Amino acid sequence: MSSDTDISQYLNVFLEETKEHLQMFTQALIDLEEADAERAAEALNKAFRAAHTIKGMAASMDFKNMEQLCHSTEDLMDELRSGSRSVTPEIIDLLLVCSTKLEELTSSIEETGSDDIDISSVILELRSFMAEEKEEEKEEEEGKAEAEAVQKEKITVQKEYDKIEKEVREGRKTYEIKVSLDKSCEFRAARSFLALHNLAEIGEIVKTVPSQDDIEKEKFEFEFEVILATDANEDAVKKALAAVADIEKVDISEGKEEVRPEAGARVAEEEKEVSKSKEVKRKDKGKEKEDALKSVRISIDKLDTVVNFVGELVISKGRLIQIGKEHEIEELSSTMAVVERTISDLQYEVTQMKMIPVENVFNRFPKLVRDLYRAQGKEVEFITEGKEIELDRTVLDEIVDPVVHLLRNSVDHGIELPEERERKGKSRKGRIKLVAQRETGHVTISVEDDGKGLDPDKLKEKAVKRGLKSAEEASKLTDEDAFKLIFMSGFSTAEKTTEVSGRGVGMGVVKTKVEALGGLVDIQSKMDMGTKITLKLPLTTAIIQALLVDVSDKIYAIPLTNVNEIISVFKDDIETIHEAKVTILRGSILPLVMLESIFGLFANPGNGNGGNGNGGNGNGGNGNGNRKHKDKFVVVIVERSEGRIGLVVDAALEEQEIVVKPPDERFKDVTGVGGFTILGDGGVIPILDVSTLTLA
């Protein structure tokens, strides 16, 4: 197997782990800026560890640019850790520039397999910033560090000498071992680590040259030396090393150090502590290894394939249950009771496998918000809540852009400049909250700010000015309806176009994306108090709960997340306003959608039951069940971003779990149809897309 193949095997793992540590690095920097002294130290150490880990992984994969940038970033953070520099917004800015460049390097590696991106400007900026330190202070620190290093080396040498002496006195042999790796070895650190691990299994490593830390960081060429104290013979030592690949040569000689009787006593107590520490570490490593074996990484594509298979099982389950009932096959029915439970459990577990915490997305946003408000001279406290809430990975990926746009709007349009906030009696620092909440059958994600809020009169004025509404239409809009104008294509509240917003396309895209997932968008706002925009999202889009309805003897499915309530409406209570059907519900106008007209369906006269046995039972005036003569209708009230509407159907049949199949090319542009599902009897029925249904 070639070295290229070896590296490629680990590339996906490297990318996933690098992205995770980059998120930790960025979040720690954001926390560092706002933290008190105690929490600042914790945040700084967390950021340093993340950068150090990325550096180590980059070095092992031979991504030199990423390794170099992480190393330079560590240098600056070292000064913060030592106390020679204080944390300032300018330092956080610079470290976040490094974070952004590391993200670019990661994207380049993911797309091209290389980190060949120019990092010279960032490195120069880091070095220039650090060079501002006074020369004499630097020399003083270097002198102090050198003295400490010398003293540390003296102590280390003495301990090594005493350890060898102790081992000899106790009758153990010491071997001086020189290990030479093959010159073509691509993983020197990994091979050396395995060699040291195997030697530690049969004895105690007294010393290595270079140090074990340098060996793990690959700071050596192709040779290293080990002094090993052991009860094993030379053949056992050779066997331990022979198990490691890429070792070209091993030279072993028995140690000949002189013994000083008084040496061992000095460190006897210390040796006990070291031994205990090693035992604890050995147990911890064993536990970590055991825990690691309990989990594996699975690609999203493979999970999607399994979800599709489970979907087919759900369809087949429904069919078999129906066959058992129709043909009264007792054995099949009793067996299916067990199979149904098993498939339901399988479906739940597979669905859970695709669920990940929203934290994976939320962690990207603090840096985005900070960059925006600092660029505009604003002050903002950014709060996130509910990061532990889980969503289907597919849904989570699709909401990134909508949430980004909502956050940009809050900073750009919502939060005022500090001076303006003070004039209004507010604190200089605005507040933006990003909150995820789990509710029955769905999750809501909201972006709320305490800024200027939406002015309904100005929204109406802009809609008229842009030709989106006539003056008469605008004057009749309620405040809630005026808020929804921002979803219209070409509408914007910005006074001028900026890099952040103002082109009149953003909120429309937010609405479209959320509704494509089967969700909806809600807006609440008060002048000078702020705005809250909520995205209501399904937990998953593959298998959903739906309400089955009968329309002119045909069955349709309505996603249950959209259903608000089901009511009955008498024919005399339906009115026509501007060619649209409406009714009055609890003092408010409810627009109605006559589904049989939308889909061109009409009842079969003379069938005696009107297709549903629920109101068209033969006594509707002429006994033929014709829907034109029905006195009462069933109305399913559904929620959508523009507000509630009522879907007029013949009957609400039952709630059922359905598998969502996307529409093929022939039905992609059909208004009101968002997909299809297959029922237990094998029938294919449409799933309604309530967001695109038009009033008729």
pLDDT score recorded for residue 426: 93
Percent of the chain at pLDDT exceeding 90: 19
3-class secondary structure, 654: strand
Examine the residue annotation and report whether 409 is marked as an active-site residue of this protein.
yes
Given the candidates 3.20.20.140, 3.30.70.1110, 3.40.50.2000, 3.30.70.1400, the CATH classification of the domain at 148-266 is 3.30.70.1110
pLDDT score recorded for residue 376: 92
Say which CATH class 357-454+493-538 falls into. Answer: alpha beta
pLDDT score recorded for residue 372: 92
CA nearest neighbour of 683 among 647, 650, 658, 651: 658
pLDDT tens for 466-504 read 888 888 888 888 888 888 888 887 676 555 544 444 433
Q: Which of 17, 20, 74, 125 is catalytic?
A: 74
Top-confidence residue, 273 or 244 = 244
pLDDT, mean of residues 238-256: 84
Range of weakest confidence among 42-46, 282-286, 526-530: 282-286
pLDDT score recorded for residue 305: 83
Q: Which of 21, 33, 398, 409 is catalytic?
A: 409
Asked whether residue 5 carries a pLDDT value surpassing 60, the answer given is no
pLDDT score recorded for residue 297: 67
Q: Which residue has tokens 């306003």? A: 577
Q: What is the mean pLDDT of the chain?
A: 79
Q: Write the DSSP string, 34-95.
A: H--HHHHHHHHHHHHHHHHHHHHHHHHTT-HHHHHHHHHHHHHHHHHHHTSS---HHHHHHH
Give the pair of three-digit tokens for residue 325: 């009932």
Burial of 369 (0-12, 13-18, 19+ CB in 10 A): buried
pLDDT score recorded for residue 543: 76
pLDDT, mean of residues 424-430: 93
Asked whether residue 272 carries a pLDDT value surpassing 80, the answer given is no
Return the bridge partners of 535, or none: 445, 521
Would you state the torsion angle of the CA atoms of residues 409, 414, 417, 419, taken in this order, to the nearest 10 degrees? 180
Return the CATH superfamily for domain 543-692.
CheA-289, Domain 4 (2.40.50.180)
Give the pair of three-digit tokens for residue 470: 């006539």
Band the pLDDT of 220: cuts 50, 70, 90.
confident
pLDDT tens for 164-208 read 556 554 667 888 999 998 888 877 888 888 888 888 888 888 888
Return the CATH superfamily for domain 3-133.
HPT domain (1.20.120.160)
Asked whether residue 57 carries a pLDDT value surpassing 90, the answer given is no
pLDDT, mean of residues 226-245: 88
Give the pair of three-digit tokens for residue 353: 């496998």
pLDDT, mean of residues 88-106: 90
pLDDT tens for 108-128 read 998 888 888 888 888 888 888
Top-confidence residue, 40 or 446 = 446
Band the pLDDT of 602: cuts 50, 70, 90.
very low
Examine the residue annotation and report whether 74 is marked as an active-site residue of this protein.
yes
DSSP H helix total and E strand total for the chain: 23, 22
pLDDT score recorded for residue 411: 94
pLDDT tens for 496-552 read 544 444 433 478 888 888 888 888 898 999 999 999 999 988 877 777 888 999 998
Q: Which of 20, 45, 52, 198 is catalytic?
A: 52
Give the pair of three-digit tokens for residue 430: 């605005």
